[in-house]
Amino acid sequence: MSNPHEPRRGRPWRMVLPLGLVIILTAGWSFYWFAAADFAETSIDRLIARQAERGIEITCSERALGGFPFRFILTCRNAEITINRSDKVAEIKLPELRGIVQAYNPTHAIGELVGPMEINLRQTGRPDRAARIAWATALVSMQTASLEISGGDLSADNILIWTGLYAGDLDGDPTSTIARYEAHFRRSAEDDGVGNLPDFDFVTTATDLVVPLPAPARGSTSISEASLSGTVFDLPLHERSDWRQFLRIWQQSGGKLDIDRLRLDGADTAINAAGELMLSPSGRPDGNLALDIVGIDQLQQLVNQTAGSSIAGMVQFVTLLVRGVATQSSVEDRPALRINVEFDDGVAKIQGRSIFSIGPLYATEGS
């Protein structure tokens, strides 16, 4: 008969089992992280190689993948992107690119852009162009579902922009400033794209802009808000070649851009537009826009400051035409004039009168 006062023998497995489970989970998670990191490195190398075949060279002076154990953090220092297109070359430089993916949620990536960004454009027979863009913070994020893009976001604050003929011409005060810029897109809830091509809702907004007046005018003008929202239908996201081929396939798929709202709002003037645009078989814009213009007298005065510029004459002609054919409307209780602009195979018309034309966005047979 056992003694009730005798201490019970311990069961070591009760202590060993939790410890063993922790060790197994830790080993399994570590294996997953390093296997996924190796796969990510290989995928990045393949992506860079594919882009190089298309004339887009991507380089980093130093590239590192870290973040163990709960994140994947990709850092590319002194990033350079060179885009070669026949007689055109574009060079984009950034001090650092940083991408972050949570190891437990690989469908959501967050990126940080460290500026300033420098852009150089060279084209045979034309002057070189250069730009520098600086910002306080710039973040980008991307969501995926079933290995397909489902949404994305971009935001930046305190943006400064310099433009000139060469990099050494970018000293002095910035030519343009933007207090905040945001862009968002999501796969449309009413997605019914042709042939499973997705539709995306989007909105992009820039606030408190200061932009220069067209030469030979001096000075600048302020825009409190510039925004665009709508839906893009039937995007061929599978197309990985250049943007011209992308647009060609988009047109052939019946792609369309529905504009819910295009808004430019100044101190005394505003332009509000809505409509739809698509591409004709020749690669030129087709569609229509309804424009509401607030403060056309003030807009005319602003245009008069740019007398002699390449666009002044056209804008003055359009302003006079608007006064003759527009109907009364309003924008947020502000009196406005409404006109309807048609785009017929690249020719913009107001009541059948051509005001300007847009050439093909990509080469077609016979163009």
pLDDT tens for 232-268 read 999 888 776 678 888 999 999 999 999 999 999 987 8
pLDDT for position 263: 94
Global pTM?
Answer: 0.83
Task: Say which DSSP state 172 is in.
Answer: S
Alpha-carbon gap, residue 20 to 23, rounded angstroms: 5
- Mean pLDDT, residues 131-160 taken together: 91
Alpha-carbon gap, residue 282 to 126, rounded angstroms: 26
Alpha-carbon gap, residue 80 to 60, rounded angstroms: 6
pLDDT for position 311: 59
pLDDT for position 250: 93
Q: Residue 7: is the preceding peptide bond cis (ω within 30°)?
A: no
Whether the per-residue pLDDT at 80 is higher than 60: the answer is yes
H-helix or E-strand containing 44? helix 13-53
Alpha-carbon gap, residue 75 to 65, rounded angstroms: 6
Tokens coding 157: 């604050």
Phi, psi of 150 (to 5 degrees): -115, -15
Whether the per-residue pLDDT at 161 is higher than 60: the answer is yes
Alpha-carbon gap, residue 33 to 40, rounded angstroms: 10
pLDDT for position 96: 95
Alpha-carbon gap, residue 135 to 182, rounded angstroms: 13
- For the ranges 1-10, 130-139, 308-317, the maximum mean pLDDT occurs at 130-139
Whether the per-residue pLDDT at 92 is higher than 90: the answer is yes
| Average pLDDT, rounded, for the chain | 85
Count of residues in the chain: 367
Residue 12 banded pLDDT, cuts 50, 70, 90: low
Cα distances (Å, whole numbers) of residue 121 to 95, 132, 136, 307:
19, 12, 25, 28
312-325 and 296-304 are packed helices; what angle lies between their axes, rounded to 10 degrees? 160
Q: Which of 4-18, 108-122, 149-163, 283-297 has the lowest mean pLDDT?
A: 4-18
Residue 307 banded pLDDT, cuts 50, 70, 90: low
Q: Residue 174: is the preceding peptide bond cis (ω within 30°)?
A: no
pLDDT for position 7: 55
pLDDT tens for 195-206 read 568 899 999 999
pLDDT for position 6: 55
Q: Which of 63-67, 234-238, 297-301, 356-360 has the lowest mean pLDDT?
A: 297-301
Comparing CA positions, the residue from 109, 68, 70, 75 lying closest to residue 94 is 75
Measure the N-to-C terminal CA separation of the chain; round to a whole number of Å.
105
**Where do the H-state alpha helices sit in 282-354?**
296-304, 312-325
Comparing CA positions, the residue from 181, 155, 164 lying closest to residue 128 is 164
Alpha-carbon gap, residue 231 to 201, rounded angstroms: 4
- How many Cα neighbours within 13 Å face the side chain of 228? 9
pLDDT for position 176: 94
User: What value, to the nearest 5°, has the Cα angle with vertex 199 and ends 194 and 201?
Assistant: 160
Whether the per-residue pLDDT at 81 is higher than 90: the answer is yes
Domain boundaries in the chain? Answer: 23-174, 177-367
pLDDT for position 309: 57
Alpha-carbon gap, residue 251 to 236, rounded angstroms: 10
Residue 40 banded pLDDT, cuts 50, 70, 90: confident
Strand partners, 141: 110, 153
pLDDT for position 268: 82
pLDDT tens for 172-195 read 889 999 999 999 999 987 665 445
pLDDT tens for 312-349 read 566 666 677 677 777 888 888 888 889 899 999 999 99
At 85, the amino acid letter reads R
